[in-house]
């Protein structure tokens, strides 16, 4: 009977299917370059992603900058460590996580300046494995692009540790670093 235990006709089959799906998702998430990674990520983060559709457009620029600078799928940086992905708390786990922390701080500075970097769309180009957006005139577009460009550049220099992918929040702790804001006198 193809591995289905006969304790109850539908219950056993459902349990087996659930564990097969769970195994598929876990194995797919181990390698961000796996073609099934996107499906697995969406399956795991459905609750996190719902309600975030509005921030999709600006995040696409960040995703492109990451692909340009690192050659990696941007999904390799979602739910990585304590700061990569939505939200963030505790102490960053490694250099990649620090990149995400600084990116969050950069977006915070842009928001304090009245911008919406998570939804800001802007034009950029990939030149020599670097995101370039020198020709932007709009202040908010410039700020969003600079944040994304610096994060992607930071990722390209930082070693990637798969063990921090899907890192549980409770291991991040409560103590967190402060953002360093540069204050300019006008």
Signed CA dihedral, 105, 111, 116, 121: sign only: negative
Known active-site residue 161: no
Does domain 53-171 correspond to CATH entry 1.10.10.10?
Answer: no
Average pLDDT over residues 99-111: 97
pLDDT band at residue 25, thresholds of 50, 70 and 90? low
What six digits make up the tokens of 9? Answer: 């006709």
C-alpha of 20 from chain center? 26
Q: Region of 123 please: left (phi>0), alpha (psi -120 to 50) or beta.
A: beta
Cut 0.75: pTM above it: no
Known active-site residue 148: yes
Average pLDDT over residues 20-46: 52
Domain boundaries, the chain: 53-171
What six digits make up the tokens of 151? Answer: 């994060």
- 104 marked as binding residue: yes
Q: Which of 148, 161, 169, 185 is catalytic?
A: 148
Q: Which of 17, 97, 103, 138 is catalytic?
A: 103
Q: Could you give the CA distance from residue 110 to residue 107 in angstroms, rounded to a whole number?
A: 5
Q: Is the pLDDT of residue 170 over 90?
A: yes
User: Coil, strand or helix: which one is 29?
Assistant: helix
DSSP codes joined into one string, 139-179: HHHHHHHHHHHHHHHHHHHSPP-GGGBT--GGGS-S--PPP
- Residues 68-88 pLDDT 10s: 999 999 999 999 999 999 889
Q: What is the pLDDT of residue 87?
A: 82
User: Coil, strand or helix: which one is 27?
Assistant: helix
Nearest to 155 by CA among 87, 28, 40, 62: 62
């Amino acid at each position: 009977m193809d591995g289905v235990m006969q304790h109850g006709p539908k219950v056993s089959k459902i349990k087996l299917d659930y564990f097969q799906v769970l195994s598929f998702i876990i194995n797919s998430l181990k390698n961000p370059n796996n073609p099934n990674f996107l499906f697995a990520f969406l399956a795991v983060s459905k609750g996190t992603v719902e309600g975030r559709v509005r921030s999709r457009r600006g995040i696409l620029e960040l995703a492109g900058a990451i692909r340009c600078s690192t050659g990696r799928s941007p999904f390799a940086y979602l739910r990585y460590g304590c700061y990569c992905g939505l939200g963030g708390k505790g102490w960053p786990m490694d250099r990649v996580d620090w990149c995400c922390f600084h990116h969050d701080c950069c977006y915070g500075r842009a928001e304090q300046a009245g911008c919406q970097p998570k939804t800001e769309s802007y034009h950029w180009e990939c030149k020599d494995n670097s995101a370039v957006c020198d020709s932007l005139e709009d202040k908010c577009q410039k700020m969003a692009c600079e944040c994304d460009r610096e994060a992607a550049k930071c990722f390209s220099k930082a070693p990637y540790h798969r063990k921090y992918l899907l890192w549980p929040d409770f291991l991040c702790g409560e103590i967190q670093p402060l953002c360093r804001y540069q204050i300019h006198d006008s």
